[in-house]
């Protein structure tokens, strides 16, 4: 599909924030999250396994809190920038995400998404086949370990949300607002954690709250992965790179079942989000209804998304993502030739 050059104008009417709707979404999500958390703590006294089972839907609502924070970061949740920022900062304590620091990195991600020359900030590290071939054996091992699903969706999310976002190494490079965001969020998290531990004890805290954080983090990283790492994704270099083409072809439409689409704040409609990030998440389904030609662009289903796990390298020759196995075959063929 050739991207029209007037999408910004055509989508402009959908950029209007509805403050009443935004307040409703925040209240409903916070209430559900807190309610399920209390249920998980209550059943913990009956069965640890029952508590862990309840932590799954609790984590789903923590993930939804992050999508609300995400919209605040794009100034699309509320009509007021001031309200967006302070709601985003408050939610950041619950999602373990320093709002202002994250917003800066995420803005860079949007500016360079799909651009091979602007990788590395706010995204999942993806090497080209030629870059991978140029690595030492140790370098290849490190990259393969990083892209291993157990690391990428297991160890990685735990590291990012529990460690990396507590002490990001580039905090002081990004200015005063960034480090205030990080350490302010850390202070809020510390107060919250100590308060919970005081009232419920360390064992209950570890069983009730920690799994919620881990499950939500893993789900969040998975969503971010499939939004850009899929079979028909698109990467290019300037001057061929354009924002509209990168948004439409480099971001997926993760067509999830409606309950999952709701719990993830419609973040799966990611190609439209990249086309116009100021559109509130609750308006994205209406855009698809009004522009049905966008429904087939970058569309992947839940089942199809699982097949994207092995995509690890960008092959510039074929202009597609390939697995390490495919890369090995290509490298063998080149050596034999």
Question: pLDDT of 275-327, one tens digit each?
Answer: 999 999 999 999 999 999 999 888 999 999 999 999 999 999 999 999 999 99
Collapse the DSSP code of 301 into the 3-class scheme (helix H, G, I; strand E, B; otherwise coil) and give the result. strand
Q: Does 296 reside within a domain?
A: yes
Domain membership flag for residue 72:
yes
For residue 75, being part of any structural domain is answered with yes
Domain count along the chain: 1
pLDDT in tens, 88-118: 999 999 999 999 999 988 988 888 888 998 8
Tabulate helix, strand, coil % of the chain (nearest 5): 70, 5, 25
In a domain, 55, yes or no: yes
pTM across the whole model: 0.91
Question: Rounded to whole angstroms, how far apart are CA atoms 242 and 236?
Answer: 9
* Residue 298 located in a structural domain: yes
Task: Note the pLDDT tens digit of each residue in 29-76.
Answer: 999 999 999 999 999 999 999 999 999 999 999 999 999 999 999 999
Count CA within 13 A, CB hemisphere, residue 46. 10
Distance from the Cα of residue 35 to its chain's centroid = 24
Give the domain extent around 36.
17-126+148-307
Residue 23 is assigned to a structural domain of this protein = yes
Beta bridge partners of 115: 236
Question: What is the token pair recorded at 196?
Answer: 């919970």
SS3 call for 241: coil
Q: How many angstroms separate the Cα of 130 from the Cα of each of 111, 279, 323?
A: 24, 37, 14
């Amino acid at each position: 599909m050739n991207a029209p050059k007037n999408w910004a104008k055509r989508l402009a009417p959908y950029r209007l924030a509805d403050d009443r709707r935004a307040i409703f979404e925040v209240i409903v999500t916070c209430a559900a999250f807190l309610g399920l958390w209390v249920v998980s703590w209550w059943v913990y006294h009956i069965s640890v396994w029952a508590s862990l089972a309840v932590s799954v839907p609790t984590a789903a609502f923590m993930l939804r809190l992050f999508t609300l924070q995400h919209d605040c970061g794009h100034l699309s949740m509320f009509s007021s920038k001031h309200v967006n920022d302070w709601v985003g900062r408050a939610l950041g304590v619950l999602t373990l995400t320093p709002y202002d620091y994250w917003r800066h990195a995420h803005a860079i991600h949007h500016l360079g998404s799909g651009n091979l020359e602007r990788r590395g900030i706010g995204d999942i590290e993806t090497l080209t086949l030629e870059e991978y071939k140029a690595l030492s054996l140790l370098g290849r091992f490190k990259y393969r370990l990083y892209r291993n699903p157990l690391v990428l969706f297991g160890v990685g999310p735990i590291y990012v949300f529990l460690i990396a976002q507590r002490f990001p190494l580039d905090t002081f490079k990004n200015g005063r607002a960034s480090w205030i965001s990080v350490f302010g969020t850390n202070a809020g998290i510390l107060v919250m954690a100590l308060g919970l531990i005081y009232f419920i004890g360390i064992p209950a805290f570890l069983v009730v709250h920690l799994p919620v954080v881990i499950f939500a983090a893993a789900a969040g990283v998975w969503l971010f992965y499939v939004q850009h790492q899929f079979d028909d994704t698109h990467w290019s270099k300037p001057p061929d790179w354009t924002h509209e083409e990168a948004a439409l072809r480099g971001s997926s439409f993760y067509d999830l079942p409606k309950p999952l689409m709701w719990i993830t704040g419609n973040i799966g409609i990611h190609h439209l989000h990249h086309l116009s990030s100021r559109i509130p998440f609750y308006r994205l389904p209406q855009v698809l209804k009004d522009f049905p030609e966008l429904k087939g662009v970058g569309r992947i289903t839940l089942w199809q998304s699982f097949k994207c796990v092995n995509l690890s390298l960008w092959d510039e020759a074929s202009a597609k993502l390939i697995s390490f196995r495919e890369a090995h075959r290509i490298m063998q063929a080149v050596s034999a030739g």
